[in-house]
Structure 1
Amino acid sequence: MPRKDALVRLHARLVAQRNALREKISDEMGLAFLDDDGINDIGETASQVERAELHTQLAALESRELEEIDFAITMIREGRYGTCQRCQKPIPVARLQALPSATTCVECQRRSEESGGAEGVEENWAGAMEYERRGMDEEPELLEFEEIES
């Protein structure tokens, strides 16, 4: 299948995904803000708040996905879709089908990850893990609490 045909099919798939996501986000936001009848006990209220938070978080995730899809659709319409932003070579269609928001080819993405981050953003997972470990080591012992109460 020629590249142009594959991109046309991918565009149609992205438009369908965008429409489905818009509907899903609308549903999630509607479920997040259900009216309270005012006769709930504490448990029911807590459950409603938890459900509302879940729906809000799902809507936020879906909104980020929607932004990526909108970006890809815009790039297709402008004729700039499917070209690596680093090396300017075509991104393989299989990669675009798996990750429609891809802006780099596999090789450039791999080099970026090996060098410690993407586009000026440095990721330091070892440092983050060490920071987390240090925070865990500083847990107060039960004896410290007993001394405070005395």
Structure 2
Amino acid sequence: MARKDSLEKLRKILQKRRDAIVRSALGDLSLLQGRASKSADVLDAVADTVQSELNSQLLEVESRELAAIDEAIERLNRGEYGTCETCQKPIPLTRLRAVPHARECIECHRLAEKRRSHPAARMNRMFDSYQTDGAS
């Protein structure tokens, strides 16, 4: 029963984080839309451009986190939350508290990271990218 109670607390944490990201993203979006660069000074124009790029990148990161949180909430609704998608073992609560939208236990996550960072994996991604770009 303790795990079930902890998972419900994590649901509330996910929902609060989701609400915070939505508010932040709306603010970032309004900043991007509200920037009409009419600066007479070149340095001001450059600063505006850099700030717009940073806001755009932040919006992208927030968008990815929001998608991960929405998926975690959906897994909660289906009763699949807290189970590693790779090994099917329960994800420790300490990991879920640290990363509430985690899909894998730390061991499986580390193995996946190692595979992604392996030189052969990087070469495969480069090759796939080349084929996609070259086909256009």
TM-score (norm 1): 0.71
Q: Please report how far the alpha carbon of residue 101 of structure 1 lies from its aligned counterpart in structure 2 after TM superposition.
A: 2.3
How far apart are the structure 2 equivalents of 1:86 and 1:127? 19
Q: Please report how far the alpha carbon of residue 54 of structure 1 lies from its aligned counterpart in structure 2 after TM superposition.
A: 1.1
Q: Please report how far the alpha carbon of residue 110 of structure 1 lies from its aligned counterpart in structure 2 after TM superposition.
A: 4.0
Give the secondary structure class of the aligned counterpart of 1:40.
Answer: coil
Structure 2 unaligned regions, length at least 5: 123-136
8 Å Cα contact 2:37-2:48 kept in structure 1: no
After superposition, residues 1-150 of structure 1 pair within 5 angstroms as: 2-36=2-36, 38=38, 40-113=40-113, 116-117=114-115, 122-124=116-118
How far apart are the structure 2 equivalents of 1:88 and 1:26? 36
RMSD (CA atoms): 2.3
One-letter amino acid of the counterpart of residue 62, structure 1: E
One-letter amino acid of the counterpart of residue 124, structure 1: H
1:11-64 C-alpha deviation (Å, 9 max, x unpaired): 011001001100100101111232427352222211211111111111111111
One-letter amino acid of the counterpart of residue 58, structure 2: L
Q: How many residues align?
A: 122
One-letter amino acid of the counterpart of residue 72, structure 2: A
How far apart are the structure 2 equivalents of 1:89 and 1:37? 53
8 Å Cα contact 1:33-1:52 kept in structure 2: no
How far apart are the structure 1 equivalents of 2:37 and 2:54? 20
Higher percent of residues as helix: 2
8 Å Cα contact 2:37-2:45 kept in structure 1: no
8 Å Cα contact 2:86-2:104 kept in structure 1: yes
Shift in CA distance, 99/125, structure 1 to aligned 2, threshold 3 Å:
farther
Q: Please report how far the alpha carbon of residue 125 of structure 1 lies from its aligned counterpart in structure 2 after TM superposition.
A: 5.3
Q: Which has the higher contact order (CA 8 A, sep 6+)?
A: 2
One-letter amino acid of the counterpart of residue 86, structure 2: R
Q: Please report how far the alpha carbon of residue 123 of structure 1 lies from its aligned counterpart in structure 2 after TM superposition.
A: 2.3
How far apart are the structure 2 equivalents of 1:127 and 1:67? 25
